[in-house]
Amino acid sequence: MTDLHRHLRERLLAASVDLGLDATAAADLVRLDAPKNKDHGDIALGAFQLAKLAGKAPPAFAAELAAKITPDAVIESSAAAGPFVNFRFRRAALAREVLSAIQSDAAPYGKATPTGEVVCIDFSSPNIAKPFHIGHMRSTVIGNALCRIHRHQGATVHGINHLGDWGMPFAKMMTAYMHFGDEAKLHESPMRYMFELYKRYGKEAEANPGLDDEAAKRFKALESGVDNDERRMWQLLRDESLKAFQGPYTRLGVTFDHVTGESFFEDKMEAAMARVTAAGVLEESEGAEVVKLEDKGIKVPCLLRKSDGTTLYHTRDLAAVFYREQQYHPNRILYVVGAEQKLHFAQLKAVLEKMNEPIAAAVEHVPFGLVLSKTEDGKYEKFASRAGNAVFLDEILDESVAKVRQVIAEKNPDLDDKDQVAEQVGVSAIVFNDLKNSRIKDVKFDWDAMLAFEGETGPYVQYAVARLSSILRKVDAPVPATDQVDFALLADAERVLLQMMEFGNAVRRAAEQSEPSVVTSFAIALAGEIHSYLVDHYVVGAEPAVQQARLVLVDAARRLLTTALDLLGIPAPERM
């Protein structure tokens, strides 16, 4: 909350008490939001709930409230419009408040003080016996943004990579390697080579169904815990693929607090199973062990142990919930995983509910849509389906960077650090494109749209930062402290200032709804407002007092855009 919000809130609370409401009850109901129409005011309150508490009709109560909020040093006006009350801040107060807070890095523009909330974010989590393809990118970049957003909000965040490094997919890779593997090729290019093996296994298994049985046996041998060939093979393949994943992670600027893959839970599954048994919800079904969930509205039972005694993806997820509960005491556990695993997480939550485990309430699946690529004839199709070829993430990043390098060669050939800027802009274009729409929508992968310097793109927002940085360089004078500025001179910057003021709400909503797109929209809107402002408001060449005030504004816009990009995991180069 900004000081302006706080001030208005206090006035509203006092007014509500004057109007006979209970202070504590009213406190929860005073929620300020941007008005639907900016011409109505800077900020609005929907009086529905307060009116209900007062036992009055919302429009009548809104009118009484509006009359109580008389102008003061900060508030210029208040007016009821139906069930809403709209407020306008004094322009100088608005500028002073917003720009001082941004300059001093105060919350919500800077990081909040710790709130005590603990959020586990399970993200990326690729199956490492398969290539790191474009589908994994979505979980990786959404999860990374959510980690940053929650940290900004003062939560303690545990970013967790729940690697798929156990189970049948891994056993198949292992079996393939034991039959046709070549260690030199593996070391040379682990990800590509494993993909070859993966494809070869698929073909061979079609001709020879015995291969799947062998893989199942090998998994059993691996799960026996004995130091055997399978275990050594598992270690080798795991080490190699983890190393290979590090490349894209580094380029995307992604780090994890814990890399606890499925194999980590190998020795924790029996305790989890014992807990399910003790809760009395485990049933036998054709030799397997399941939890039936019909009473929870889910037809498919949750399979926790196969008839051959081995465990499953679900068993490890259950063990992981208990482990996270005990280690981190989370308020929320977010699983950033594609929408196709909806059933899996519904089952997981339902099993925990059936066991009467309070941690069930913390389990939240954060689903997202597919990545679609544009075909020759302008249609969109699922990315991976292209002639059975996996699309390797590093190749896509390379392609993007190469395209940006070309643009730089044309537009700004004298730029220093060309390679670094191309890398920063090229990778970010893909990340921004992924985060710009609500996550449940499919991402359309269209190079031209994604890399444009105009429109809702990463390069557009990055370019805004570079432009602001360039203005500050040209003026070549220190940005004044906010107490040295006449804020009345920024009355015409109200659109920029009001947009800046939205930042706190945007980040809060992004955290609550696990929706980084709220932050991308904010960044696009602020970049747009500051661009328009600068069309007819010069900084270089303005008279001294005006220049001082505008310098503060430009610097604040640069800082806030940089912060917004940072929350998305995107760097902001000073020049491009």
Quick one: which of 42, 87, 35, 43 has its CA closest to 65? 87
What is d(CA 316, CA 320) in angstroms, rounded to the nearest whole number?
A: 6
Question: Residue 174 to residues 4, 183, 197, 218, 418: CA-CA distances in angstroms?
Answer: 61, 13, 9, 8, 43
User: How many alpha carbons lie under 13 Å from residue 238 in its C-beta half-sphere?
Assistant: 20
Quick one: which of 322, 323, 309 has its CA closest to 224? 309
Name the minimum Å distance from CB 541 to ligand ARG.
55
Our CB check for ligand ARG shows the closer of 195 and 533 to be: 195
Quick one: which of 561, 548, 547, 533 has its CA closest to 483? 548
Name the minimum Å distance from CB 312 to ligand ARG.
11
If binding is defined by CB under 6 A, does position 555 make contact with ligand ARG?
no
Choose the binding region for ligand ARG from 91-99, 120-128, 236-244, 355-363 (rule: CB under 6 A): 120-128
Contacting residue, 201, 265, 335, 392, with ligand ARG by CB under 6 A: 335
* Cα 513 to chain centroid, rounded: 10
Query: Binding pattern to ligand ARG, positions 161-180, x when CB under 6 A?
Result: -x-x----------------
Our CB check for ligand ARG shows the closer of 328 and 335 to be: 335
Query: Which H or E element spans position 299?
Result: none
What is d(CA 415, CA 408) in angstroms, rounded to the nearest whole number?
A: 8
Name the minimum Å distance from CB 127 to ligand ARG.
4
If binding is defined by CB under 6 A, does position 125 make contact with ligand ARG?
yes
If binding is defined by CB under 6 A, does position 127 make contact with ligand ARG?
yes
- Nearest residue by C-beta to ligand ARG? 164
Q: Dihedral of the CA atoms 470, 473, 479, 485 (nearest 10)?
A: -70
Name the minimum Å distance from CB 337 to ligand ARG.
4
Quick one: which of 162, 121, 67 has its CA closest to 364? 121
If binding is defined by CB under 6 A, does position 126 make contact with ligand ARG?
yes
If binding is defined by CB under 6 A, does position 159 make contact with ligand ARG?
no
Our CB check for ligand ARG shows the closer of 344 and 575 to be: 344
Our CB check for ligand ARG shows the closer of 129 and 471 to be: 129
Our CB check for ligand ARG shows the closer of 102 and 337 to be: 337
Other Cβ atoms less than 10 A from the Cβ of 409: the count is 12
Question: Residue 385 to residues 3, 370, 375, 382, 448: CA-CA distances in angstroms?
Answer: 52, 12, 11, 6, 21
If binding is defined by CB under 6 A, does position 84 make contact with ligand ARG?
no
Greatest CA separation for the chain: 84
- Let me know: does 193 contact 186? Beta carbons within 8 Å: yes
Quick one: which of 93, 96, 90, 74 has its CA closest to 480? 96
Which SS3 state, helix, strand or coil, does residue 284 take? strand
Name the minimum Å distance from CB 401 to ligand ARG.
26
Name the minimum Å distance from CB 128 to ligand ARG.
8
Our CB check for ligand ARG shows the closer of 315 and 517 to be: 315
Our CB check for ligand ARG shows the closer of 126 and 131 to be: 126
* Cα 261 to chain centroid, rounded: 21
Name the minimum Å distance from CB 322 to ligand ARG.
13
- Counting Cβ atoms within 10 Å, is residue 462 exposed (0-12), middle (13-18) or buried (19+)? buried
Name the minimum Å distance from CB 411 to ligand ARG.
39
- Let me know: does 141 contact 435? Beta carbons within 8 Å: yes
Buried b (16+ CB within 10 A) or exposed e, 544-565: eeebbbbbbbbbbbbbbbbbbb
| DSSP summary character for residue 164 | B
Q: Three-state SS across 189-217?
A: CHHHHHHHHHHHHHHHHHHCCHHHHHHHH
Name the minimum Å distance from CB 207 to ligand ARG.
27
Our CB check for ligand ARG shows the closer of 120 and 233 to be: 120
Our CB check for ligand ARG shows the closer of 345 and 453 to be: 345
Q: How many residues form the binding site for ligand ARG (CB under 6 A)?
A: 10
Query: Binding pattern to ligand ARG, positions 41-80, x when CB under 6 A?
Result: ----------------------------------------
Our CB check for ligand ARG shows the closer of 122 and 357 to be: 122
Choose the binding region for ligand ARG from 118-126, 304-312, 487-495, 507-515 (rule: CB under 6 A): 118-126
| DSSP summary character for residue 478 | P
Name the minimum Å distance from CB 192 to ligand ARG.
19
Our CB check for ligand ARG shows the closer of 65 and 355 to be: 355
Choose the binding region for ligand ARG from 85-93, 119-127, 246-254, 367-375 (rule: CB under 6 A): 119-127
If binding is defined by CB under 6 A, does position 122 make contact with ligand ARG?
yes
Name the minimum Å distance from CB 351 to ligand ARG.
14
Name the minimum Å distance from CB 164 to ligand ARG.
3
Site for ligand ARG in 274-303 (CB under 6 A): none
Residue 255: φ, ψ to 5°:
-130, 160
Choose the binding region for ligand ARG from 104-112, 122-130, 299-307, 522-530 (rule: CB under 6 A): 122-130
If binding is defined by CB under 6 A, does position 317 make contact with ligand ARG?
yes
Q: Between vectors from CA 293 to CA 287 and to CA 299, what angle results, nearest 5°?
A: 90
Give the binding site for ligand ARG (CB under 6 A).
Answer: 122, 125-127, 162, 164, 317, 320, 335, 337
